[in-house]
Amino acid sequence: MKLKTLLLATTAMAMLGAAVAPAMAQTTLRLVSKDLLTTNPDDMKEIEAIEAALKAQGTDVDIQTIDLPGGTAAYGEALGVMLLSGDIPDIMYFQGGDQKMAEQGILEDLRPWVEGSETVKAGMWPHNFDRLENYPYLIYLYPARAPQPVMRKDWLDELGLQPPTTVEEYEALFQAIHDADLDGDGTPGNTLGLTGFGNTGELDSIFNQAFGVTGTWMKNGEGKWVNARVTDAEKAKIEFYARLADKGLFDKEYVTNTYDVKEDKFYTGKAGVIFGSSPEVIDIYSGKMRQTHPDADVSLVLLPAPSGPGGKGLAAVDVAKESRGWAISSLSEHKEEAFKVLEFMASKEGQDIDRLGFEGVHHNTAADGSVTLTDAISTWYARFFNASNWTPPTPLLGETAQAALDNIKADFVADNSFVWPAEYAAEVDATEQIYRAWVARFITGEASLDQWGDFVSEYNAAGGARMAEYAASVLGE
C-alpha cells in the first residue's frame, strides 16, 4: 500500500479539525532544505525577506524551516526517514532520494503549476523543460552542469600558444606545459598538463562530442541501441586519455585525488589545466589562484571544447530528471501558497534577494540605482534558484566564468538517457562500477586497450545487455 494512501486518513482528520477552527489570514508553510537552517542567521534573514515581500504582494505566509543534518548523504538519509514516518513538509529540497517518494505518490506533479506560472516558466533553462516533462516532481532553475577547462593566462602566453581548438592541439598544449618550467622550480618535465579527480566525467564534458560520443545511447553497426560506453567512439576517447597519461600529461592519480587535492595541484603549479564544474566554481578558482600568488598578475583563461573526428561541443545533457531540486507535497493543504514561494523566488525581486544578498552587507546601492558588490558577496550563495532570465544589476561572474556560462547556453544538446525502473538498480550500479574500474585500469596502464573486448563482455554480462534491450523499448527504432 502506498504511503500516500496511509496518510490520507490522517490528512482528512486534520482537515475536519481545521473546519471548526476560525480562519486565519496567515498560512504556515513548512520547508526543509539542507541550505536553509534556523541556526544560520543569513538563512533566517532571507526567509524573513521572502515573507515580507510576499506579504506586500498579498500572500501572508509564515515559512517554518526544518533543521536536518548537513552534508548531502546525512541530509538525504534524514529527509527520507522523516518523510517515511509521515512527517511531510509543504516544500522540500531533494538531492537524491526523491524517486522513492515520487513512487509513493507524495510529490506533487508540478507541470500544471509551471504551465500556469508567470516567473518559474520564464526562468527555466532549456534542460529544465525536458526534465520536468520526463519527471514532473522537481524544479531546479540552474544552468546545466558542464565542466570546462581553464589555465593560467600568463602560462599560455609564456608558451606562445593560442587556446587549443582541436584534440591534437590539446595534446600539444599538455605536452608544452609538461616540457616547460612554467612553475619556475628549475625542473622542466615535472608539471602535469591536466589533473582531475574521481573519474573522467570532467574530461568527457569536452571530449565526448569530439570523439563522436553523442549521447548515452548510440546505435552500433547493426543498427541496434547500445550504451555509448561500449562503442568504438568511446574506445578511441579512452585511448586518447590513456596516451596522455602514459606520456605524463594527465594525472594518473586522478582516481584517488579528492577535489581539494586536484585544486591544490593546480594552484601550486603541479598541473597546468583544471576543469571547473560550473561558472561559479571557475570564479572561485580565479580568486584562490590570486591568493596563492599575490605577487603575480594571475588570471585564468577558458579553453574551448575542441573539434575532433566525431564533432565538437559540450557533452549531451542528461534530461531524464533533475538530480536535485524543489518539490511540493501532494498532501499539502497549501499547495497554492507553496508554489507562490517558488514563483516569487524565480521573479526579479526574488532573484535580487537570493543572488545579491543583503543591502549594506553584500552590496550597496547608490542614489542613481547603481549596485556595487562588497567583499562579503564572496560568502553569499543562492538558496533557491539561478533563473535564466534574471539580469544582475552588476556582473556577478568574472569574464572567464561568464564565457563558460555562455558556452553552456550555446552548446546545449539533450541526451537520450531516461529514468531506470527500480528493478534495474542492480544492473545500473554494477555496470557503472565495471566501467569506471576498467577506465582507470586503461588510463593507468594496468590494462591494455587490447583488452577492450574483455571489458565489453564483462559490462554486458553484468547487465549491459539487458539494459540495452530495455533502452530499445524506450527509444524505439
Instruction: Identify the H or E element spanning 284.
Output: helix 279-292
Q: Name the pLDDT band for 293 (thresholds 50, 70, 90).
A: very high
**Phi, psi at residue 237, to the nearest 5°?**
-65, -45
Confidence (pLDDT) at 11? 47
Residue type at 190 in one-letter notation:
N
Which pLDDT score is estimated for 21? 43
377, with CB counted inside 10 A (0-12, 13-18, 19+), is middle
Which H or E run includes 380?
A: none
Which pLDDT tens digit goes with each residue over 147-159? 999 999 999 999 9
Question: Sorting pLDDT into bands at 50, 70 and 90, what band is 72?
Answer: confident
Stretch 271-280: mean pLDDT: 96
Q: What is the pLDDT of residue 16?
A: 46
Q: What is the pLDDT of residue 4?
A: 55
β-bridge pairing 225-227 and 217-219 = antiparallel
Q: What is the pLDDT of residues 201-257, one digit of tens each?
A: 999 999 999 999 999 999 999 999 999 999 999 999 999 999 999 999 999 999 999
The x, y and z cell numbers of residue 3, run together, are: 504511503
Cα 13–Cα 18–Cα 21 angle in degrees, nearest 5 = 140
Please report the sign of the dihedral spanned by the C-alpha atoms of residue 426, residue 428, residue 429, residue 433: positive
pLDDT in tens, 297-323: 899 999 999 999 999 999 999 999 999
| pLDDT above 90: percentage of residues in the chain | 92
Domains of the chain: 3-143+322-388 (3.40.190.10), 148-316+417-475 (3.40.190.10)
Q: What is the pLDDT, as a whole number, of residue 7? A: 52
Mean pLDDT of 424-433: 97
Q: What is the pTM of this model?
A: 0.86
Per-residue pLDDT at 3:
54
C-alpha cell at 18: 481545521
| CA dist., res. 467 & res. 244, Å (int) | 32
Q: What is the pLDDT of residue 2?
A: 55
Cα–Cα distance between 223 and 31 in angstroms, integer? 49
Q: How confident is the model over 92-119, as a mean pLDDT?
A: 96
Calculate mean pLDDT across residues 49-77. 94
Q: What pLDDT sits at residue 407?
A: 96
Average pLDDT value over all residues in the chain: 93
pLDDT, average across residues 318-347 = 97
User: What average pLDDT does the segment 129-152 reach?
Assistant: 97
